[in-house]
Amino acid sequence: MGFARASESPDAARFDAWLADGCAADLDYMKKTPERRVDPGRVVTGCRTVIVGSVGHWFEDGATTAELPTRFARYARGRDYHKIQDGMLKRLCRVLDEETASETGARHTHRFYVDYGPVLERSWARDAGVGFVGKNTMLIDPKRGSWTTLGTVLTTLELPPDDPITVGCGTCTRCIDVCPTDAITEPGRVDARLCISYWTIEHRESIPEAMRIAIGTRVFGCDDCQDVCPWNRFAQPSTIDDHRPRELFVDADLARLAGLSWDAWDAATRGSAVRRVGYEGLLRNVAIALGNSRDERARPHLEELTRHVSPLVREHAEWGLARLSDDERA
């Protein structure tokens, strides 16, 4: 946890340029009232301090036994981090109220967010000394790496600010070099229009054919830029039981995912960040991954998905069959 003095973010101009260049794709919530996102005083009147807390979610991978292996982004394998950190931040705000009321009798305003509010979390985390922003745009804690998620509290309390961390990426460019779609267009900038995480999680409709091959066998997000980051050798297992990966997302198998009914998906993803992509969206991604597996064992699963009630799933399953057969269209 760290504390930063509330003011207009020094990244305001970079954020505006990122939006102007179209790098937010169709993430309209990023474009809504950008002036509030860069200035906490426009969100909480009289805001003096931004409190930022990071929570680690890393668990070591086990050996794979899946027939057709796939991967979910590491942050999404357990309970939804929003739900985990909401409770933490509510308790923090309650403590702030109790402490300040007993000391001064004054009431202060606190508002918390877990990346669903108009806050540039990573910028404030950097300013609060929680970590530094890497070339892959991830917040990197030199003691734990980047396998963390952030929560923020905007408060009218005046709290002494922490010093920013002075270390960084140095000359390392592993994340830029490994990105399968060149989505890291320059150090510290990701173009959502090229990012696999955007296409497999945020995009709701058909995925352009040019992106489908790059997605490979991923079905929810992409951790490549974090997998190669040298700072992640310091990752520590989470001590929060809710972060423990769920059974469906451990050693994930495309063969099993392809056969999920809506009811089974609903039960497996309840309280999970994977729910964001939706049932049809997950099967859309599974169909792409099955085709990209180039494994004949994927064929019956794709054939079954071509008969799915969803036109979106059928479209991508037909593409997957063509890809599996090395059809020139794919």
Question: Nearest to residue 226, comparing CAs of 30, 1, 58, 53?
Answer: 58
Name 274's Cβ contacts closer than 8 Å, sequence gap at least 6. 72, 76, 220, 249, 282
Q: 115 an active-site residue?
A: yes
Q: Find the catalytic residue in 16, 26, 97, 115.
A: 115
Cα–Cα dist 175/322, whole Å? 31
317 and 305 Cβ atoms separated by less than 8 Å: yes
Q: Is the dihedral of CA 318, 324, 328, 330 positive or negative?
A: positive
List strands edge to edge, sheet with 49-56.
Answer: 2-5, 49-56, 148-155, 110-113
In 10 A of CB 162, how many CB atoms? 16
Cα–Cα dist 122/35, whole Å? 17
Element housing 224 (H / E):
helix 224-227
Q: Is the dihedral of CA 29, 30, 33, 38 positive or negative?
A: positive
The residues annotated with a catalytic role in the active site are 115
